[in-house]
Amino acid sequence: MIQAKDHSTGLLFDCWDHIGPKRRKLLDRSWAGVFRTFLLHELPIGRIIRHFKESMGRPSKELYAMTGAMILQQMFDLSDEETQRALAFNLDWHYALDITDESDASTYVSERTLRNYRRIILDEHLAPILFDTFTDRLLKEFGVDVSTQRLDSTHIQSNMRKLGRVRLFATTIRKFLRKLSRFHPDVFAGTVSKELADRYLAKSSDSCFSRVKPSEVSRTLEQVGADLHDLIAGFAAHAAISTLPEYQMLERVLREQCTVSGSGADAKVAVNPPGTVSPDSLQNPSDPDAGYDAHKGQGYQAQFMEAYQTGERNPEVPNLITHVEVEPADKHDSPALIPALDATASRKCGPARVVCDTHYGGDDNLLNAANKGVDVIAPTAGPAPEGEITLAHFSVERETGHITACPEGHAPFSMRTTTKNRLVAAFTHKTCRTCPRQKDCPVILEKKAAYLRYTLPALRCACRRVRENTPEFREAFRWRAGIEGTNSQVKRMTGAGRLRVRGMESVRLAVTLKALGINIFRCARALAARLRLAADAFSRFTERFSHRRPRGVNLSLRIGYLFQILWPFSPYARFVA
């Protein structure tokens, strides 16, 4: 049986009058009021309903409340046990999820039920849908200007242990042997030697491998590498075992970490030097999707793009995160810009200007963004040229990129394009040898003429460097620093720095819902500021006429009576007692 309330239709009687006007005001001005008013009825429970049957099974939990609880769990970084208690006793959660009665059927859920609903959300890929739907609603309700946005990435750690190479080999072998002994005990007993089983399955084996002396690391790696190769070769012909995920991890570790020479009994395994291992190699068999970044370490990275205000900050309008994407830590930031622009443009919240750091400011990204009508503000990578004269000082045709004149006003006598798409401008010897700025000029004197060889990306890069020295660029780029505060806030308020889950799908669900939680917190703060300003304006309005007494009646009283009549029709009546 399916249970789902109709949250779109108002009730004749308010079920929350019993808590008192002052506590109700606190709820309305908090994140709970934002969630209940703007988001609760937008939950896509149509994707949840198809996992239940109307005529079979016990009654489901109220689907709006359970789906919303998944968001609140990530907002407050709660375990399943803590979420269970919050649903049972927390008045904020009851108000946000519109749980109107105190019965066990409405307020109690088991941890298994929470896991089942989380699995449904993962299977339906609802995390991006929840984020996009709710963020678009908040952008509209709070009048957020999305024309200027900023983009950056931040490192995310999943719930996995950091392993060195010795422990990586040993842990991968141990997981395979445990799976083999559990599901194929006969094959395990007849194939795996007692010495090998004791080495990796004994209780003390983990501590032995974790306490290897630095001088013995190479020898230990050779031993575990040989054991790894022997297990792979021994079960390669066994169809049922060679398809196990744990066996495929053995193959992956051997392929990424070792070099095998020879075959059969003459095969030799050599462990690759650390600097030659790819960053996308396996970091932990418990989390095969994680990557490695040389600067930040193992795990994932999240790309956040947010709309921001320029000039004096208006507290009634929040800065909201408009796009979230999660990827392994080994991925470069550069490919993330265009997908972020496409994703926001498809939701009608795309920016006209994006501010980001050097990694996103490649020439291809700027060209593609310009074709979409987006101005990318990002510094140019690499050191600036040492000479005083650069390509930017030459006069150039905008359409073709051909040079029409040098900084001294001399035109080249020929322009041509090589087979490698390089452009060559040729000047006469007489023109360049008599030039007073010859030492600072990039034109090179050769036998036949003086040549300037360049490419269109190099020309655009030089023009960008000139733009970076302007006050307009510095004023626009200084707002990029605000995204660092957003990255810190996501980690500090929602626990995104170290998650309770591992695996790409679970990490993406957690990070996306945590970013949505930040948007809800910011909207609650903006709503509270908006209502305070409205209350202050009304107070000043009534005080203005308090000293006047026309015909013996205080005008402020008349205004108060009129206000009591018209207030129920005001859009703020729901939030101000």
Helical residues (DSSP H) of 421-469, grouped into ranges: 429-433, 456-468
Q: What is the per-residue pLDDT for 100? A: 86
Looking at per-residue confidence, does 545 or 403 come out higher? 403
Q: Which residue has the tokens 């080249």?
A: 412
Q: Which two tokens stand for residue 429?
A: 């010897």
The domain ranges of the chain are: 17-124, 148-156+298-373+482-512, 165-276, 391-473, 526-569
Q: Does position 280 have pLDDT exceeding 70, yes or no?
A: yes
Q: Which two tokens stand for residue 198?
A: 């004791």
| φ, ψ of residue 157 in degrees (nearest 5) | -105, 130
Binned at pLDDT 50, 70 and 90, residue 275 comes out as confident
DSSP 292-343: EETTTEEEEEEEEEEE---SS--TTS---EEEEEEEETTS-SGGGHHHHHHH
Q: Does position 570 have pLDDT exceeding 70, yes or no?
A: no
> Which amino acid, residue 512?
T
Q: What is the per-residue pLDDT for 577? A: 46
Write the CB contacts of 391 (distance below 8 Å, at least 6 apart in sequence): 442, 454, 458, 459, 462, 463
Q: Does position 172 have pLDDT exceeding 90, yes or no?
A: yes
Looking at per-residue confidence, does 517 or 430 come out higher? 517
Q: What is the per-residue pLDDT for 148? A: 96
Distance (Å, rounded) from C-alpha 184 to C-alpha 182?
A: 6
Mean pLDDT, residues 365-388: 89
Q: What is the per-residue pLDDT for 262? A: 80
Q: Residues for the chain: how many in total? A: 577
3-state secondary structure of 506: helix
**Between β-strands 375-377 and 148-156, what pairing exists: parallel, antiparallel or unpaired?**
unpaired
Distance (Å, rounded) from C-alpha 363 to C-alpha 125?
A: 34
Least confident of 292-301, 427-436, 528-537: 528-537
Q: Does position 488 have pLDDT exceeding 90, yes or no?
A: yes
Looking at per-residue confidence, does 301 or 12 come out higher? 301
Distance (Å, rounded) from C-alpha 132 to C-alpha 387?
A: 49
Q: Which two tokens stand for residue 288?
A: 């095969």
Q: Which two tokens stand for residue 115?
A: 């896991």
